[in-house]
Amino acid sequence: MAAPRWRALGLWIRGNGQRLGSLFSPVSKPFCSAAAASTSVNAQRLAERLRAQKREQDTNKKPVSTNPVQRRVQEIVRFTRQLQRVHPNVLAKALTRGILHQDNNLVVINKPYGLPVHGGPGVQLCISDVLPILAKILHGHKAEPLHLCHRLDKETTGVMVLAWDKDMAHQVQELFRTRQVVKKYWAITVRVPMPSAGVVDIPIVEKEAQGQQQHHKMTLSPSYRMDNGKMVKVRHSRSAQVAVTRYQVLSSTLSSALVELQPITGIKHQLRVHLSFGLDCPILGDHKYSDWNRLAPQKLSVGTLKKLGLEQSKARYIPLHLHAQQLILPALGSRKEDLNLVCKLPHFFVRSLRRLGLEMPNQNQNENNEAECLGAQ
């Protein structure tokens, strides 16, 4: 008896366990050709996509430089990107390793470079995101989230104060607002401030900078200007804010300096603006405020680039060398004495000091410089 056959929609199969003779009848050949062509196109697209991804990965895998400074710059770039990609638990754990002080009211951390304090456009992870996790690591799973007492710029490193409850956070914020907290920053500057110590008292206002790319920057809004050798009072801008910065050169060469900055007020980007536009000594790695009309990597002299072991084309990778080195909080709550918080410099900052020939001041020298600065006022 002949094996039974089924034929429907061009499909036929032999029974009795025999092999599949054909999937499609001659009528279905055009469909078969189209399907095969479609499969071929999809496979080709997939292969092209994989090759493009491979090329992108190869491009991102830059060769490791033999120059120690360039190698360190590459490490900083990778570290900054990694901070935005790590799991919040990993970041919180990393912050615990940088705790400077902890008591029943406060937790003081060493803020890493490149980590934003608050969220915003393009920010995948920030300090405020991990405060609940950080609290649980320190005080157990029932701990309430920590609270921010102040903020630092994304590129600024150093002392950052957190509080266990809202009331304490508000008290510390009030101390900052009423200028009762002593804040000291260290910065490496391009060029040397003249005179070597003084006070910059120039209001700051935010303006739109006209250039190839329209952008907003904080800038100076002086109350006076020189007109034919005479001091002329300028009409005050209503949006300008009072900004006062005390500064002291701690170490210098012909082309750079280590400067201690004490902001009396707390205006956005105050230190960067006063140094760059007020003293004509921008902070090393400040690619935003080194030029008013341009948004471009900071231009450095040939001598400075040589000391750093970099080419101008790599200058965009230089991080901002601004560090919140010390905070002195007055007595608060059950604490009867001032709280002196000091944070060591990040590795990249120390290496730049060495490369530029700048010396780290000892504590006694620093106190003497501070006394001289206060006595000169």
DSSP for 160-225 reads EEEESSHHHHHHHHHHHHTT-SEEEEEEEEES--SSSEEEEE--EEEEEEPSSS-EEEEEE--SEE
Q: Which residues pair with 289 in a beta bridge?
A: none
The pLDDT of 73-102, averaged and rounded, is: 79
Better-predicted residue by pLDDT, 180 or 294: 180
Q: Which residues pair with 77 in a beta bridge?
A: none
pLDDT digits (tens, 9 = 90+) for 333-358: 888 899 999 999 999 999 999 999 99
The pLDDT of 224-245, averaged and rounded, is: 84
With 70 as the cut, is the pLDDT of residue 102 above it?
yes
The pLDDT of 214-224, averaged and rounded, is: 85
Can you state the angle between helices 88-96 and 127-139, rounded to 10 degrees? 60
Better-predicted residue by pLDDT, 246 or 79: 246
Better-predicted residue by pLDDT, 14 or 357: 357
Looking at residue 84, its pLDDT comes to 58
Highest-scoring range by mean pLDDT, 17-21, 64-68, 128-132 = 128-132
With 70 as the cut, is the pLDDT of residue 50 above it?
yes
Distance CA 329, CA 105 (A): 13
Note if 201 is an active site residue: no
DSSP letter assigned to residue 335: -
Q: Which residues pair with 322 in a beta bridge?
A: 187
Looking at residue 25, its pLDDT comes to 43
Kindly give the pairing relationship between strand 157-163 and strand 106-111: antiparallel
Better-predicted residue by pLDDT, 181 or 370: 181
Exposure class string for 125-147: b at 16+ Cβ within 10 A, else e: bbbbbbbebbbbbbeeeeeebbb
Distance CA 348, CA 325 (A): 15
Looking at residue 144, its pLDDT comes to 94
Looking at residue 13, its pLDDT comes to 40
The pLDDT of 187-212, averaged and rounded, is: 92
pLDDT digits (tens, 9 = 90+) for 304-313: 999 999 999 9
Helix (H) or strand (E) holding 138, with range, is: helix 127-139
Concatenated DSSP letters for 145-160? PPEE-S---TT-EEEE
Query: What's the burial of 15, exposed, middle or buried (CB within 10 Å: 0-12/13-18/19+)?
Result: exposed
Instruction: Using pLDDT thresholds of 50, 70 and 90, give the confidence band for residue 216.
Output: confident
Better-predicted residue by pLDDT, 199 or 20: 199
pLDDT digits (tens, 9 = 90+) for 316-335: 999 999 999 999 999 988 88
Residue 79 makes CB contacts below 8 A (sequence gap 6+) with: 112, 113, 114
* Structural domains in the chain, sorted by start: 67-200+241-359 (3.30.2350.10)
58, 103, 129, 153: the catalytic one is 153
With 60 as the cut, is the pLDDT of residue 22 above it?
no
Instruction: Using pLDDT thresholds of 50, 70 and 90, give the confidence band for residue 164.
Output: very high
With 80 as the cut, is the pLDDT of residue 259 above it?
yes
Question: How does the average pLDDT of the chain come out, rounded?
Answer: 82
Instruction: Using pLDDT thresholds of 50, 70 and 90, give the confidence band for residue 27.
Output: very low
Looking at residue 304, its pLDDT comes to 95
Distance CA 282, CA 286 (A): 7
